[in-house]
Amino acid sequence: MTAQPGLMTIFLTLAAALLFLVPTALVAAELATAWPQDGGIFIWVREAFGERLGFVAVWLQWIQMVFGMTSIIMIIAATIAYVIDPALASNKMYMLGMILAIWWGCTLVNMRGLKTLGWVSTVCVCLGVFLPGILLIMCGVTYVLSGNPIMTDVSFTWNNLVPSLSDKGTLGLFIGFIFVVMGMEVSASNVSSIRDARRNYPIAIILVSCIMVALSVIGSAAIFVAIPKENISMTAGLMQAFELYFSKWGFGWLAPVMGLAIALGLIGQVNSWVLGPVRGLQATADSGALPEFLQKTNKHGVPVTLVMIQAVAISLVGILITVMPNVDNFYFMLMGLTGLIYLVAYLFMFSAAIYLRYKRPDVERSFKVPGGNAGMWICSGLGLLISLTAGYLGFFPPGSFKGTAATYQTFQCIGLGVMLVIPFLVYSYGQKARARKEMRIGSPAASTSALRS
């Protein structure tokens, strides 16, 4: 990216949180407590605009995960390569092997159901997110209190805080921060598994949002106080900081250990996404929008057919890396397409939230976006505005993309177009299959056959 980190990182984190994360958390909390059954965005959009668009919305939420999780596993692979052999990060076969191993491993864990998923995700988050985050903050505070020089200009000036809108690299950087805070609403797909969901879900989603923003802001500060901003890598900045701190205080051997812990945390994040979006798809299968064979579940209630199709889809996306000329370019294109697809799903969600305030005012909402209907318009309107703006900016390649803008934009346009057409075709097929089944059941021949049996 051409944009430099530093105080600007804090500004972008807070901007993404206030303009996108907060509206998403508030709206998802209201919708989930009003319609607390499994299904999440499918249920919400269906209640507002009908089953067809509900299916399209949850399809987009699911398919973006196929691309997004592939790119996140690439980050995990690069982090592990940092510990073993940094040259592996650009090795296509190594990347493909890690994509297959990590995703299929997470898939097998999730086959055991939410109980197993819960403790695995908890262990990964504690060891790979909270522990490194708290340790990084402690290192930064110790560094500053020890009288060491602060390596980045931290004066609160306009140029230090606010990025230039004419810098396309900066614009791409902001999209990256928006992408980081996406996904808060996915947990609503499992809301029926939460005890006293109408009370506990809004508290949990808002608390997690606050913790995530706080750790991100303070953690960013702990990085740029010790490393000049022009030397901070946008993908390996965390490992740079740990390596510097540990080497300075004679614990250099801890840097690789921390790298593995961070990779473990990211694996936990990937693991938590295996069932979220697919639960929404399962809700559509139960309503007849998908063929009947996709409704199959195991004894733990996991939709095994959908989960296996998902694993195969991610494997196929991973195989694409072998025909790409550059690993980094493939990563950037995947991240861009993921963001664009997901933003369309958010357009459905925010629009549904506004519409349902008027269409279904009688539905009990134990949590409501503050400010009445005006508050909902402001909150969802802000989410819609940021989604549209981010979607437009998402067609600009980031500054680190080593290729032409035309190549990047062609990939995004074709990918987004295909992913928007497919759910309409799948839904149409599902409706025809359901109609044929109903005709067979209702026909005299079917009735006679049933009586004979």
Q: What percent of the chain has pLDDT over 90?
A: 30
Contact 143, 225 (CB under 8 A): yes
Cα–Cα dist 250/120, whole Å: 33
pLDDT digits (tens, 9 = 90+) for 285-322: 767 777 777 778 888 778 888 899 999 999 999 999 88
Report how far apart, in Å, the C-alpha atoms of 101 and of each of 107, 108, 127, 187 are: 10, 11, 21, 25
H helix runs in 146-253, sequence order: 158-161, 168-180, 197-224, 237-248
3-state helix, strand, coil in the chain (%, to 5): 80, 0, 20
Cα–Cα dist 227/63, whole Å: 38
How would you class 7 by CB atoms within 10 Å of its CB: exposed for 0-12, middle for 13-18, buried for 19 or more?
A: buried
Domains in the chain, ordered, with CATH?
Answer: 7-443 (1.20.1740.10)
**SS3 track for 249-293:** CCCCCHHHHHHHHHHHHHHHHHHHHCCHHHHHHHHHHHCCCCCHH
Residue 192: both structure tokens together:
């029926």
Per-residue pLDDT, 1: 36
pTM above 0.85, yes or no: no
Cα–Cα dist 370/292, whole Å: 41
Cα–Cα dist 138/249, whole Å: 13
Q: Which residues of the chain have pLDDT under 70?
A: 1-6, 113-121, 165, 167-173, 187-194, 197-198, 233-236, 286, 442-453
Per-residue pLDDT, 118: 60
Residue 152: both structure tokens together:
């980045």
Per-residue pLDDT, 198: 66
Residue 225: both structure tokens together:
């106080």
Per-residue pLDDT, 2: 37
| Angle value at C-alpha 111, between 108 and 115, nearest 5 degrees | 115
Per-residue pLDDT, 14: 84
Per-residue pLDDT, 16: 87
Residue 307: both structure tokens together:
């989960």
3-state secondary structure of 429: helix
Cα–Cα dist 161/12, whole Å: 9
Amino acid, res. 412: Q
